Amino acid sequence: MKTNHPVNTKEPYRIDVHHHVLPKFYTETLERVGSLTIFGVFIPDWSIEAHLAVMDKNKVAAGMASIPAGIYYESDAFARDLARQCNEFLAKMRSEHPTRFGAFAVLPVPDVDGALDEATYALDTLKLDGVIMLSNVAGHYVGDAENDALFAELNRRNTVVYIHPGDPPDKGIPEAIQFPIDTGLETVRAAMSLLYSGVFKRYSNLKFIFSHCGGITPYLAHRMVRGGTWVRGEGGIDPGMLDEAPDGNETDKAIALLQRQYYDSMTANAATGLHTLQAFAGPSHILLGTDHAILPPMYQPIKMRELMSYKGFDDEMRMAVERENALRLFPRLREVLQS
């Protein structure tokens, strides 16, 4: 994908969509409610100055900032208040650094009424660039029917929806397992819930970005689609075990719905993860993601080196992943970076 604006790759030019910020009021709130880790990773100290320094060092021109963990703890009122604080912080940070940040608004789901109110405020008044939703909140998965009115409104607004894994509902899973395994499992469960509930099909104006290369979505996509046709109790078998599904046309349509979405490049291994994702979604639907600043600063250059050493992208494809695909999704960012 060629750009009309030549990019100087000696300067910060990358756009990182898997890009977290951790304001002090937010981390202090998590500490107060006893939530000291995110997927077993302790929440690090954070400052905007240190954050920008890491971005500069790794040639990241802009990050699509998001709050990485939940806000729904004590009550609907608690979540609404924390969402408002987070979104106003994001808007202020973006206004102070308009070329360095976009921002995904956080919503107080599963309180749908509160989420609708906050989406209106965040998108109309604060003018944020999209919303972030967790795979599940308190066991309520993102594609559950209770969120349908919210998706209808976001669809009306042509919203970009960033899907990030939430802590798995099973509290018995050891934290040592959660980080390496359940980030991927939660992401694929979110994709399944949105596919099976018909959200992808009904609300085609929505543009979903799935974190961590979609988890294991590219690998399991055909099994996910065929598994939805299994009829229990009628002597059927799981079509996911078959090489071909009973209804190839419907399978193709469902796969196309998954391929229409976007996936960030944050993966455990570029050679295998990006290869599978590229074969499934193509380079035009892959976006740069590093998981900064939940992971220590040393991880961002590692993820950049992995991406640069991946042999499946030519220069044009790599520029699409690192920058151009994001500019297509976020018009405000495109305007300020190319002005």
pLDDT of residue 15: 97
pLDDT tens readout for residues 81-93: 999 999 999 999 9
Model confidence at 203, pLDDT cuts 50, 70, 90, reads very high
What's the number of CA atoms in the CB half-sphere (13 Å) around residue 316?
6
What's the number of CA atoms in the CB half-sphere (13 Å) around residue 197?
18
Residue 245 has pLDDT above 60, yes or no: no
Model confidence at 279, pLDDT cuts 50, 70, 90, reads very high
Model confidence at 228, pLDDT cuts 50, 70, 90, reads low
pLDDT of residue 175: 74
Cβ neighbours, 10 Å, residue 204: 11
SS3 assignment for the chain: CCCCCCCCCCCCCEEEEEEECCCHHHHHHHHHCCCCEECCEECCCCCHHHHHHHHHHCCEEEEEEECCCCCCCCCHHHHHHHHHHHHHHHHHHHHHCCCCEEEEEECCCCCHHHHHHHHHHHHHHCCCCEEEEECEECCEECCCHHHHHHHHHHHHCCCEEEEECCCCCCCCCCHHHHHHHHHHHHHHHHHHHHHHCCHHHHCCCCEEEECHHHCCHHHHHHHHHHHCCCCCCCCCCCHHHCCCCCCHHHHHHHHHHHHCCEEECCCCCHHHHHHHHHHHHCHHHEECEEEECCCCCCHHHHHHHHHHHCCCCCHHHHHHHHHHHHHHHCHHHHHHHHC
> Which of 56-65, 189-198, 227-236 holds the top average pLDDT?
56-65
Residue 292 has pLDDT above 90, yes or no: yes
Average pLDDT over residues 47-53: 96
Residue 237 has pLDDT above 50, yes or no: no
Average pLDDT over residues 101-111: 97
Model confidence at 240, pLDDT cuts 50, 70, 90, reads very low
Residue 253 has pLDDT above 60, yes or no: yes
pLDDT of residue 244: 53
What the chain holds in terms of domains, given with CATH numbers, is 14-230+238-338 (3.20.20.140)
Model confidence at 233, pLDDT cuts 50, 70, 90, reads very low
pTM exceeds 0.75 for this model: yes
- Residue whose tokens read 């009550």: 75
| 85 in Cβ contact with 102 (< 8 Å) | no
Model confidence at 248, pLDDT cuts 50, 70, 90, reads low
Average pLDDT over residues 91-110: 97
Average pLDDT over residues 183-190: 93
pLDDT of residue 132: 98
Model confidence at 121, pLDDT cuts 50, 70, 90, reads very high
pLDDT of residue 247: 59
Q: pLDDT averaged over the chain? A: 90
Model confidence at 267, pLDDT cuts 50, 70, 90, reads confident
Average pLDDT over residues 98-102: 98
